[in-house]
Amino acid sequence: MRPKWMVPTAADFRDIVSGRRRGFMAYACRAALAAIELPYATAVSLRNRGYDQGSRPVHRVPIPVISVGNITLGGVGKTPLVEWLARWFLERGVRVALISRGYGAKAGRPNDEAMELEQKLPTVPHFQNPDRVQAARTAIETTNCRLILMDDAFQHRRIHRDLDIVVVDALEPFGFGRVFPRGALREPLRGLQRANVIALSRADLVTPGEKRHIRHQLAQYAPHAVFVEMRHMPRAWLSSDGRCEPLEVLDGAEIVAFCGIGNPAGFRQSLESCGCHIAKLIEYPDHYAYADSDLNELTQAISGYAEAASVVCTQKDLVKIGKTTLGALPLRALVIAIEIMDGERALEAELQRCLNSIPPTD
């Protein structure tokens, strides 16, 4: 029986739609996906036109709403930015609530991103509901929050937002130029014209020439957007019992890694930047729900690496597993934060505009 961790992954999808994978089967897959792309892209465009022309209603709430989203599939670094934004407002005495769809959540339970944000922002309430208009109203009624941050909401247009921030991954900025399922775009690139801020994540991992090219391309679609460059900075190793250790603990060490996220390549690069030697990286689908059988298979898979000092994963994975060891090896998560490299002042001016629009309390 083929292990679950060997089923097609996000990396397999990217290899196919990017054209990196060759051969008859890969060609046939691309042809089949292309046949579905046109009706999907047409449906998305018609939906957007409805909102643009006012035939679809947009609901307002009485406090500012900031959306953080992306135009491509997969992990682009939204969660660390949401954390950064929440802390920015908290430092200025603003009560913030987080809202998300809750993709992958089991009934009555938060999903992995909500659990990760709760661990990072324990004082900030988080409401998950596919109906984000209702989630916003519930947040206002029950917490008396003064500002709402919506995670992964660029395509959710039913609720009015005062600031639209789109995160673009410098390593895969344009979804291979095709709309899902033939490419990794959630909608055609012209949708970027709605963005007020474009945040280029992992900007430190491309050359200055590549960065200029990306910025030039983005400006074709969003000429008036504020442009921000940021990088993902590893901060520490975290265990499920709350113990934090400095990065130097695994500097130069051999590790076995696994992740269930949308961009495993970004995780690999973060681990390598910590000086780790990756003996094996096992990839699961994004938002993967680990069962006991998965952990047993994972333990078996890593048992052959006797020289490994640790098993490591993302913080989003760790909150779902809740173990301090896998087999004989300690289990640690890499804690990531963002650092804004360029454009912070312009971003803060946009945030200050939202701050100034908060209505006075009675």
Contact 30, 182 (CB under 8 A): yes
Peptide bond into 181 cis (omega under 30): yes
User: What is the three-state SS of the chain?
Assistant: CCCHHHCCCHHHHHHHHHCCCCCHHHHHHHHHHHHHHHHHHHHHHHHHHHHHHCCCCCECCCCCEEEEEECECCCCCHHHHHHHHHHHHHCCCCCEEEEECCCCCCCCCCCHHHHHHHHHCCCCCEEECCCHHHHHHHHHHHHCCCEEEEECCCCCCCECCCEEEEEEECCCCCHHHCECCCCCECCCHHHHHHCCEEEEECHHHCCHHHHHHHHHHHHHHCCCCEEEEEEEEEEEEECCCCCEECHHHHCCCEEEEEECCCCHHHHHHHHHHCCCEEEEEEECCCCCCCCHHHHHHHHHHHCCCCCCCEEEEEHHHHHHHCCCEECCEEEEEEEEEEEEEECHHHHHHHHHHHHHCCCCCC
Instruction: Of 10, 16, 12, give the one whose Cα is nearest residue 178.
Output: 16
Instruction: Work out the burial of residue 219: count CB atoms within 10 Å of its CB; fewer than 13 is exposed, 13-18 middle, 19 or more buried.
Output: middle
Q: What is the pLDDT of residue 117?
A: 87
pLDDT of 5 reads 42
pLDDT for res 180: 95
Domain annotation for the chain: domains and CATH numbers: 65-232+339-356 (3.40.50.300), 234-337 (3.40.50)
Mean pLDDT for each consecutive 10-residue tract of the chain (362 residues)? Answer: 50 88 93 95 96 95 97 88 97 96 68 83 93 96 97 94 97 93 95 97 94 96 96 95 95 95 86 95 88 92 91 94 93 95 97 96 73
Among candidate residues 235, 229, 257, 265, the one with its CA nearest the CA of residue 314: 257
pLDDT on residue 131: 93
Check residue 100 and give its pLDDT: 92
pLDDT at 188: 95
Q: What pLDDT shows up at residue 1?
A: 33
Q: pLDDT value at position 3?
A: 45
pTM over 0.85: yes
Write out the two tokens for 279: 């003996």
Q: Which two tokens stand for residue 233?
A: 């900075």
Tell me the C-alpha distance between 239 and 319, whole Å.
10
CA-closest candidate to residue 17, choices 9, 8, 27: 27
